[in-house]
Amino acid sequence: MELLEQRILHDGTHIGTEIVKVDSFLNHQLDIRLFNELGKEIRRRFADVEVNKILTIESSGIGVAAIASIYFDYIPVVFAKKTSPNTMTEEFYGAPVKSFTKGTVSIARVAKQYLSAADKVLIIDDFMAHGEAAAALANLVEQAGGTVCGISAVVEKEFQGGSKKLREKGYRVDSLAVITKIEDGKIFFRRDPE
């Protein structure tokens, strides 16, 4: 998605050859006009799929998932929690997830009442590196007996292998901006749509 790629080049920064920082519009401050375009594009790319629920993980994926829901006729958005709040007194599905940027492992949790075997789920991930968050979310859907209809990442670092691992497991993965490498102070994108 050229609009997103241009925004990454203009407002994003990179740290070394592994980390891309997009805090000014995606992960800390949210550009809702851009999110609206992202939501439209996610819907366009998954127009051939019947989806009745969107699943993401707190917190950076929530904004994009909420806007995307509008283009899927306002279907519910569920987000996995990374900690066990006192208010989560019901049974939950849980799966370990390792954060590439934080170097931590947490348990992604969704209350059982929000995922079921009847659910056809689109997973939305703000940033895909090794695919850990998306794999954990897919695990939660499968624990519930639901169907993972696809995984949409806003930004993917292809060189870290997450989408390849997920595709090898049989998931449909479609990322809006795919970074192939960071080299000599430049970010390179894969321009061809999947």
Give start and end residues of each alpha helix (H) in the chain: 2-11, 32-45, 60-71, 132-143, 162-168
Residues of the chain with pLDDT under 70: 85-89, 100-101, 192-194
3-state secondary structure of 53: strand
Residue 139 pLDDT? 98
178 located within any domain: yes
What is the per-residue pLDDT for 85? 67
* Chain position carrying tokens 């979310």: 137
Whether 194 is covered by a domain: the verdict is no
d(CA 58, CA 49): 24
CATH number of the domain that 46 lies in? Answer: 3.40.50.2020
What are the tokens at 168? Answer: 């090898």
In a domain, 57, yes or no: yes
Indicate the number of domains in the chain: 1
pLDDT of residue 194: 46
| Structural domain span for residue 142 | 2-189
* Tokens, residue 104: 């931590």
- Report if residue 172 sits inside a domain: yes
Give me the count of residues in the chain.
194
**182 in a structural domain:** yes
Question: Is residue 127 situated within a structural domain?
Answer: yes
pTM to 2 decimals?
Answer: 0.93
Q: CA-to-CA distance for 5 and 133, rounded, in angstroms?
A: 22
